[in-house]
Structure 1
Amino acid sequence: MLDIPRLRVLRAVVATSSIRASAAALGYTPSAVSQQLATLQRETGLRLFERSGRGIEPTAAGRILAAEADTLFEAFGRVERVVGDLRAGRVGSLSIGYFSSAGSALLAPAVAALRAEFPELRLDLLLTEYTQGEPDVDIFVEESGAEHPGAVRVHRLAEDPYVAVVRADDPLAGLPEVPLADLAERHWVDNDLHEGTCRQVLLNACAQAGFSPGFVVETHDYRTAMSFVATGIGLTVVPALAIGQLPDGLTTVALVSPTPVRRLSVAVKESVARHPAVRRTVELLEELVSGTRTGRRPGGATQAGELHARPERFGADRR
């Protein structure tokens, strides 16, 4: 295999027609340049230069080899630029896993910012509730007793309290907060497709309050559940992050004694943890979570609660 630095010397000598000038340009001594050329001639078995007066002149073979080397070094230049871009996070791909209620509240604004800052970065978004795989960055809900798979760094994003969603004419609508046990005799609208971590957080809190929710309607997502609440069938209990824009005629009430809380975290693969776009993704998620607040809702009244941001690193679990 030809030696790349020697080809670089060949190109310089062909371009300058001078060993001394080439040595100055490359930072070598003239004798080192001569030695490199002699070695290259032995490696190729070609006569690349010949004497011309007090200097040297490239042969036809030397010129052809130097011209071909130009193409090689153009390719190397492109590779070096790609390496620089990768270090700066400008190209390549990044996969981000998320769960449903993180999509609009966290993922959409984070992706918009990433596209603006890293326009050549391809983003692959994976709804981890329905797809397999281990994304580079994974937004997830901690599950007690379970560990996130793989070699990852885990950052706590927030504690996300649950709130009751009720009609604006409900007797609870004017209250700043309500003990969870006061909902024991109410009709509930279920809102979780899977009996996963988010639902278990709620059921555990209800058990602590001494009852099991009386579900009269089973729906598979928060938005549909809230539309049923609007009909007067019952109430639903939803993490604050999942509220978004409440339908007209609904409001939220904070829950206490106890307050159901799910813990949101982001796991980053160790192999990509230093990538600028990955670091920026974590920063954006922390900024979005810490800035997420729910204000007064139409019809009444109450604050839905707030996300308590805790951007610290710790060992956590996967949903």
Structure 2
Amino acid sequence: MLDLHRLRVFRAVVASGSVNAAAANLGYTSSAVSQQVTALQRETGLVLLARSGRGIEPTSIGLALAEQIDGALSRFGDVEAFVADLRNGRTGSLSMAYFPSVGAAWLPAVARALLRRYPDVRLDLELRDDFTAGSAKRAAFSPVKGGDGVVGRGVDIQLLVAPPDFAGTRDTRAHHLLDDPYVVVVPPEHPLAGADAVELARLAGERWIDNDFARGWCRENLIDACRAAGFSPPFRIEAHDYPTALAFVEAGIGITVLPRLGTASLPGGLVAVPVTAPAVCRSIYAVVQTSVEATPPAQCVLEELRRCARAATA
């Protein structure tokens, strides 16, 4: 394999017209430049320079090689610049997985902040329904099932719900963003609409509308809290997402209980009332691959996610 440094030295000799001039331009000794050119001729098996009077000049082969070196050095310079851009977050891509309620509430602001600061970065987004990590009934972390099977695999940053002590996996680090309390959503004419809070047991006689297609930790967390309050939620309608469940509430069909973040845009004057006794809460994390955690784009995303989380609790 040709030595790039020797190619650069030889190109300097051709451009400068002499070994001494090349040495002065490069900050080397003449002897060091001569040694590099001699070594290049030896490894290529070509005569690149020939004596001319008291000096030297490139041979036709040397001139042809110098022309090729020009193109190679230019392309290598482009590669070096590209690497520098990657290091400083000026190009490349960042991939994120998210679940629906944070997608609508946070990702537009995240994308705006990222692309404003790093306009050449491509943001790849993936909606994952299997957004929980672990179980309310387990003390240890349990990887997400479904898809690729492991939290964080295949994406740089994954937003997910996990138990309060979740710390990440071997190749990821978990950044806690928000403890998101649950609320009951009722029509404005409902007797609970003016309450500051409602004990969970008071909802036992209501007509419940389910809202969690994934049947994940968020739903399990709510059902466990209801059991602790002495009842099982009497689901009469099973919707598959928050907007549909809220539309049923707006139609006067029943009530739904969901994390507060899912109520960012309540339709039709609906009212969200905090749930207590027991209070129900989910913990939201940004799980980041350690290989990209220190890069400027990833840091920008984490900064904006924290800002969104702070705004959600204001």
Q: State the TM-score, normalizing by the size of structure 2.
A: 0.89
CA drift of 1:2 comes to 1.6
CA drift of 1:54 comes to 2.6
Aligned mates of 1:89, 1:258 — CA distance in 2: 45
Aligned mates of 2:168, 2:176 — CA distance in 1: 13
Aligned mates of 2:165, 2:180 — CA distance in 1: 19
CA drift of 1:52 comes to 2.3
Aligned to 1:70: 70
Report which stretch shifted further, 14-23 or 157-166. 14-23
Map 1:7-156 → 2, pairs under 5 A = 7-129=7-129, 132-133=147-148, 134=153, 135-143=155-163, 149-156=169-176
Q: Runs of 5+ in structure 2 lacking a partner?
A: 131-145
Aligned to 2:141: none
Amino acid in the other structure paired with 1:64: A
Aligned mates of 2:30, 2:166 — CA distance in 1: 66
CA drift of 1:24 comes to 2.0
| 2:295 aligns with one of 263, 266, 275 | 275
CA contact (8 A) 1:154 1:266 kept: yes
Aligned to 1:178: 198
CA RMSD, aligned part only?
1.7
Q: Map Cα deviations across residues 96-151 of structure 1 (whole Å, 9 max, x no partner).
A: 01111111111221122212222221222111216724211010000479885551
Matched, 1:233 2:237: no
- SS of residue paired to 2:191: coil
User: What stretches of structure 1 move > 3 A for 4+ residues in a row?
Assistant: 143-150
CA contact (8 A) 1:163 1:238 kept: yes
| 2:312 aligns with one of 282, 285, 292 | 292
CA drift of 1:228 comes to 0.6
Amino acid in the other structure paired with 2:265: Q
Aligned mates of 2:251, 2:219 — CA distance in 1: 23
Amino acid in the other structure paired with 1:19: V
Aligned to 2:6: 6
CA drift of 1:242 comes to 1.0
Pick closer, same or farther for the CA change 1:121–1:273 going to 2, 3 Å. same
CA contact (8 A) 1:150 1:269 kept: no
Aligned mates of 2:282, 2:204 — CA distance in 1: 21
Amino acid in the other structure paired with 2:177: L
Aligned to 2:268: 248
Q: Runs of 5+ in structure 1 lacking a partner?
A: 294-305, 307-319
Aligned to 1:223: 243
CA drift of 1:259 comes to 1.3
Q: What's the % identity of the aligned pairs?
A: 47
CA contact (8 A) 1:165 1:253 kept: yes
Aligned to 1:192: 212
Matched, 1:257 2:272: no
Aligned mates of 2:28, 2:269 — CA distance in 1: 80
Pick closer, same or farther for the CA change 1:140–1:196 going to 2, 3 Å. same
Report which stretch shifted further, 27-36 or 144-153. 144-153
- SS of residue paired to 1:70: helix
Q: State the TM-score, normalizing by the size of structure 1.
A: 0.88
Which is bigger in relative contact order (C-alpha 8 A, separation at least 6)? Answer: 1
Aligned mates of 1:250, 1:94 — CA distance in 2: 37
Pick closer, same or farther for the CA change 1:105–1:60 going to 2, 3 Å. same
CA contact (8 A) 2:167 2:174 kept: no
CA drift of 1:27 comes to 2.1
Aligned mates of 1:149, 1:34 — CA distance in 2: 55
Q: Map Cα deviations across residues 146-200 of structure 1 (whole Å, 9 max, x no partner).
A: 8855511111111000111001111111111111111111111111112111101
- SS of residue paired to 1:234: coil
